[in-house]
Structure 1
Amino acid sequence: MLSYNPTKEIIETIHAATTAIHFQTITEDFSPGYPNGNVKTHKNSFPLRPIISQCPTPIYYLAKRLNSLISPYVSYNYSIDSSAEFLSKQEGHPSSGKIVSLDVESFVTNEPVGETIDLILERVYRDPSTPTLNNPEEAFHTLLEICTRKDAFTTHRGQMYMQKNGVAMESPHGVLFASSYMEVVEERVFSQILHPDMYVKDIDDTFVMAPSIQVIETLQRTFEE
């Protein structure tokens, strides 16, 4: 077991700056995250989806607390919660359209973490349409870094690693970071091309309805650029 307190000073800085935001002080004994995997039975050759369990780590509950603060700043304009919601949206569109599913391959584990953190902080601290969090931006940035690129995990042989980019599967930040980054990508794409008849997504799995396959191909190409 490891007994360490990597965020005590930062948390104390935030608590000194505001009484409105409180983080639990990390004072217990913890262990590093550990990797495991799920087999992707729906894909050829059954690849393994790598997962790092962060439940025993010192940053797990800190990451969840950060999520609760960030979530109101992330818009979910195109998100759906279930297949039933997708079918409901589909009923409102002409049946003559082409429907396809687009997938961002391994997006959560490969997304640019540094850029995503910058995008989140831009929305939290400099977007005039949202209220600014009453805590130091630099401290908030450091906590997000600690919960992603600086969180160690160990292999079954005892070797220690850190995931430098991407967010580990099962990280509390996985869905939120993916949604934050995709929101910016979508804004860029739809500023360049016409919006399809329907565009909805479940994190990085996207359903599109358009009048022709050419419109869908243009959409896919623009996302890939």
Structure 2
Amino acid sequence: MFVLIPSQQYLSKLDSILCNTTKFQQITRDPTLSIIRKVNKIIDAVNARRDGLHLQKITGDFRPGYIYGNVKTHKDDNPLHHIISQIPTPTYHLAKTLNAIFTPFVHTEYCFMSSLPLLKIEEIHLRELLRICTQEAAFRCPRGKLYQQIDGVAMSSPLDVLFANFFMGSVEKEVFNRSGRPPIVRPVRRRHLREDHQL
């Protein structure tokens, strides 16, 4: 679906999102090169451990990501749902690697997946890489200004679902420890429904 709105209205709605200084910080310099140097230094330290994890160093040409908004047509005044694309940033593929590393440790006791304990991140290097991937990657707004998201995880980041699952898993564990685990009804397969219908 295409939604057409005046460009000034679109920019104004994005400006109102970015003016939240608890979530976003305007910056004056492109941090891309310093992020590459910082991350590669940490990766060297991680890779120096022979029996540990091996990460690929960041090489190539990168630039800040960009923010855009999808119009919420079902809400009054049609606010924007902002999305920050981090695909052009130097930490995008690193974030995908970290997501693959940490996903098996998400607390899934109350899901249909196998249960694993919630990971306690004690490795200082991996914790710092997660912080850089979620808070230091810069992005441009349509007006050309540079920002960083300083709180939360940007939607479209490879880590957004991971952190959401971590959070919900810990909430579920706390709530169900107090109130008891609710019964989980597994969905009935369609084949069985067809057989029952024929009977």
CA contact (8 A) 1:3 1:29 kept: no
Aligned in 2, Cα 1:54/1:65: closer, same or farther, shift over 3 Å?
A: same
Instruction: Tell me the alpha carbon deviations over residues 154-197 of structure 1, each in whole angstroms, 9 at most, x when there is no partner.
Output: 22222221111111110100000000111111111112223334
Secondary structure of the residue aligned to 2:134 is: coil
The residue number in structure 2 matching 1:159 is 145
In structure 2, runs of 5+ residues without a counterpart are 1-29, 187-199
- Structure 1 residue corresponding to 2:62, chosen from 15, 30, 34: 30
The residue number in structure 2 matching 1:14 is 46
Partners of 2:159 and 2:111 in 1: how far apart? Answer: 17
Aligned in 2, Cα 1:120/1:76: closer, same or farther, shift over 3 Å?
A: closer
Aligned in 2, Cα 1:77/1:29: closer, same or farther, shift over 3 Å?
A: same
Report the CA distance between 1:59 and its aligned residue.
0.2
Partners of 2:53 and 2:73 in 1: how far apart? Answer: 43
Report the CA distance between 1:121 and its aligned residue.
5.3
CA contact (8 A) 1:33 1:57 kept: yes
Please tell me the root mean square deviation across aligned C-alpha atoms, in Å.
Answer: 2.7
Report sequence identity in percent: 44
Aligned in 2, Cα 1:162/1:199: closer, same or farther, shift over 3 Å?
A: farther
In structure 1, runs of 5+ residues without a counterpart are 82-118, 126-136, 201-225
The residue number in structure 2 matching 1:56 is 88
- Structure 2 residue corresponding to 1:188, chosen from 139, 164, 174: 174
Partners of 1:51 and 1:7 in 2: how far apart? Answer: 24
The residue number in structure 2 matching 1:144 is 130
Report the CA distance between 1:34 and its aligned residue.
0.5
> What is the TM-score with the length of structure 2 in the denominator?
0.66
Instruction: Tell me the alpha carbon deviations over residues 108-131 of structure 1, each in whole angstroms, 9 at most, x when there is no partner.
Output: xxxxxxxxxxx9751x55xxxxxx
Paired amino acid for 1:68? A
Q: State the structure with more CA Rg.
A: 2
Secondary structure of the residue aligned to 1:162 is: strand
Instruction: Tell me the alpha carbon deviations over residues 19-70 of structure 1, each in whole angstroms, 9 at most, x when there is no partner.
Output: 5522221121211110012223344443311100000000000000011110
Moved more, 23-32 or 70-79: 70-79
> What is the TM-score with the length of structure 1 in the denominator?
0.59
- Structure 2 residue corresponding to 1:172, chosen from 158, 166, 176: 158
